Amino acid sequence: MENVVIIGSGLAGYTLARELRKLAPDLPVRLLTRDDGTSYSKPMLSNALAKGKTAQSLAMASAEQMVGQLNMTITTHTAVTAIDTQAHRVVTAMEEIPYGNLVLAVGAEPVRPPLEGDAAGAVLSVNNLADYAVFRAALDEARHVAIIGPGLIGCEFANDLIAAGKQVTVIGPGKAPLDRLAPAPVGVSVQAALAKLGVEWRLGVTAARVDHHAGAYQVGLSDGGAVRADCVLSAVGLRPNLTLAKAAGLNTGRGIVVDRHLQSSAPDVYALGDCAEVAGLVLPFVMPIMHAARALAQTLAGTPTVLTYPAMPVVVKTPACPLVVSPPAVGAEGHWQIEHIEEGGVRALYRGGDGRVLGFALSGIAAAERQAWSKDLPPVLA
Ligand SMILES: Cc1cc2nc3c(=O)[nH]c(=O)nc-3n(C[C@H](O)[C@H](O)[C@H](O)COP(=O)(O)OP(=O)(O)OC[C@H]3O[C@@H](n4cnc5c(N)ncnc54)[C@H](O)[C@@H]3O)c2cc1C
C-alpha cells in the first residue's frame, strides 16, 4: 500500500485518518494542516453559547493527542502551497513531501458579502474554532448582534444568541429565512418561533455597508434603513477552497471535481468534505463526509469502493422551532405538499408524479416525524 498524505485536519481529514487506521494499522499516514490541528465538532460552534461552551471547551483533542490516537504524523501550522502531481509531491514553505496517494480535505471558506463602509473589515464569520474564539471575545462586549444571512447557520446562531440573552437582528434578501433549504411556509414557522423569543427580522433587504457609529456599528441596508449593533456576524454561505486544486491543474467546478471513488482528475489525488464536488454534488454536511471517508479509506487500503449516499436529512439546530430537512434531488420532478399543523409546525413533503415522497422539510411538532418520512426516501447516490 502506498503512503497517504492528507491535507486538512477538519472532520473530513480526521475521519478519513480514523477509518484508514481501522483497515490498515501500519499504513504510513501523514496529515498536514495550516491550523493547530485541534479536533473539534464544527456543528457545535452554532449552539455553544447557550450551552456555556467556549472555544477551549469545544476542543476534543489536541494534535499531539490525535498523533497518539491514530499513530500518524501530523504537521500543524503548515500550509500546503503547491502540489506537483507529476512528481507526486506536495510543497510547503519548509519542505517537499512525497506522496503515494494524496487526499485534499481542505474545506470551504466563508463567502464575504460585498460590503462598503469603514467597518466592513470588522464583520466576523465563524467557520472554525479560531474564528469562534474571536467571535466569543467580541460577544463579551456585545449586547446586540446583527447577523447577515438568514440561512441554516444564520438561524442557528440567531437561536443560540437569543437564548443566551443577546439582542439579535437577522438581515437577508428573501421573503422568508432558510429559502435555499426549505419552502417558504417552513422558513416562516422558524421565523415566527424565533421572533417570539425576540429575534428581529429585516427581510427583503441586503446589507450594503457597515460603518463605525457611536462606539458600535451601523449596518446600512439596501432599502435605506439601518441596524445598529455591537457585533456583526456574516453567515451568507461557504465556498469550497479551490486554490490549491486549481493551481495544480485539477478539474474544478463548484468544488474539486471527483468521481464516485473520490478520485480527482489527477492520478492518486483524491478529495472529500466541504471542498469536494462528488458526482456533481457539493454537500457540506457531516453525514456525506462520514460516508465518503469510509468509502475512500477502503479504496486507499486496497479495496476500490464506489461511494453511495443514502438519504441524509439535516437537523437544523433551532430548538425554538425544531427543523429537519431532506431536500429533493436537484431537478427532481414533483411538487411541495404543505400542511400547517395546529399544535405548531409545518409538514412539507415533496412528492413526485407517482405520489412518492422525494424530500421533506418538517418544522415544529412535525420534526418528530423524521424517521417515518425518511425510511422511504430515495438514496442521494444509489
Ligand atoms: C457553524 C456551523 C455549523 C454547522 N452545523 C452542522 C450541522 O448541524 N450538521 C451538519 O451536518 N453539518 C454542519 N455544518 C457543516 C459541517 O460542520 C462541515 O461540513 C464539516 O465540518 C466540514 O469539514 P471539512 O473537514 O470538510 O472542512 P474544514 O473543517 O473546513 O477543514 C478544512 C481543513 O483544511 C485545512 N487547510 C485548508 N487549506 C489548507 C492548506 N493549503 N494547507 C494545509 N491545510 C489546509 C484547514 O486548516 C482545516 O484544517 C456546520 C458548519 C458550520 C460552519
Domain boundaries, the chain: 4-108+239-300, 112-234, 322-374
Q: How far is the CA of 223 from the centre of ligand 1 (A)?
A: 34
Q: Quote the crossing angle between the two packed helices 11-23 and 63-70, to the nearest 10°.
A: 20
Three cell numbers written together for 326: 431532506
Q: How far is the CA of 273 from the centre of ligand 1 (A)?
A: 7
The pLDDT of residue 165 is 97
Confidence of residue 1 (pLDDT cuts 50, 70, 90): confident
The pLDDT of residue 262 is 98
Percent of all residues in the chain with a pLDDT value above 70, rounded to a whole number: 100
Q: Does any ligand 1 atom lie closer than 6 A to the CB of residue 239?
A: no
Find the mean pLDDT for residues 267-292: 97
Find the mean pLDDT for residues 300-312: 97
**Which residue's alpha carbon is at the smallest distance from atom 3 of ligand 1?**
43
pTM, full prediction: 0.97
Find the mean pLDDT for residues 320-326: 98
* CATH topology agreement for domains 4-108+239-300 and 322-374: no
Identify any residues that bridge with 171 across adjacent strands, giving them in sequence order: 148, 202
Is the distance from CB of 123 to CB of 218 less than 8 angstroms? no
Q: How far is the CA of 275 from the centre of ligand 1 (A)?
A: 9
The pLDDT of residue 44 is 98
Q: Does any ligand 1 atom lie closer than 6 A to the CB of residue 46?
A: yes
Q: How far is the CA of 107 from the centre of ligand 1 (A)?
A: 5
The pLDDT of residue 376 is 87
The pLDDT of residue 22 is 98
CATH (residue range 322-374)? 3.30.390.120
315 membership: H or E segment, kind and range? strand 314-316
The pLDDT of residue 14 is 98
Options 3.40.50.300, 3.50.50.60, 1.10.287.3510, 1.10.540.10; CATH of 4-108+239-300: 3.50.50.60
**Which residue's alpha carbon is at the smallest distance from atom 22 of ligand 1?**
274
Segment 356-382, tens digit of pLDDT: 999 999 999 999 999 999 998 999 999
Q: Does any ligand 1 atom lie closer than 6 A to the CB of residue 324?
A: no
Chain position carrying cell 480514523:
18
Segment 61-115, tens digit of pLDDT: 999 999 999 999 999 999 999 999 999 999 999 999 999 999 999 999 999 999 9
Q: How far is the CA of 212 from the centre of ligand 1 (A)?
A: 31
Query: By C-alpha distance, which of 177, 187, 150 is closest to 361?
Result: 187
Q: Does any ligand 1 atom lie closer than 6 A to the CB of residue 285?
A: yes
**Which residue's alpha carbon is at the smallest distance from atom 35 of ligand 1?**
8
Percent of all residues in the chain with a pLDDT value above 90, rounded to a whole number: 99
In terms of DSSP bridges, do strands 276-278 and 167-172 run parallel, antiparallel, or are they unpaired? unpaired
Is the distance from CB of 236 to CB of 152 less than 8 angstroms? no
Find the mean pLDDT for residues 127-142: 97
pLDDT, the chain, mean: 97
Q: Does any ligand 1 atom lie closer than 6 A to the CB of residue 126?
A: yes
Find the mean pLDDT for residues 155-165: 98
Three cell numbers written together for 368: 418528530
Q: Which of 286, 290, 316 has most ligand 1 atoms within 8 Å of CB, for mutation?
A: 286
**Which residue's alpha carbon is at the smallest distance from atom 12 of ligand 1?**
285
Q: Does any ligand 1 atom lie closer than 6 A to the CB of residue 284?
A: yes
Q: Which of 42, 76, 152, 274 has most ligand 1 atoms within 8 Å of CB, for mutation?
A: 42
Find the mean pLDDT for residues 272-298: 97
The minimum-distance atom of ligand 1 relative to the CA of 127 is 53
Options 3.50.50.60, 2.60.40.10, 3.40.30.10, 1.10.4160.10; CATH of 112-234: 3.50.50.60
The pLDDT of residue 315 is 97
What are the DSSP calls for 195-216, one per residue?
HHHT-EEEES--EEEEEEETTE
b/e burial code for range 298-314 (CB count within 10 A of at least 16 → b): bbbbeeebebebebbbb
Q: Is the pLDDT of residue 254 over 90?
A: yes
Q: Phi, psi at residue 257, to the nearest 5°?
A: -75, 120
**Which residue's alpha carbon is at the smallest distance from atom 44 of ligand 1?**
33
Confidence of residue 271 (pLDDT cuts 50, 70, 90): very high
Q: Is the pLDDT of residue 265 over 90?
A: yes
Find the mean pLDDT for residues 200-211: 98
Q: How far is the CA of 366 from the centre of ligand 1 (A)?
A: 29
The minimum-distance atom of ligand 1 relative to the CA of 45 is 1
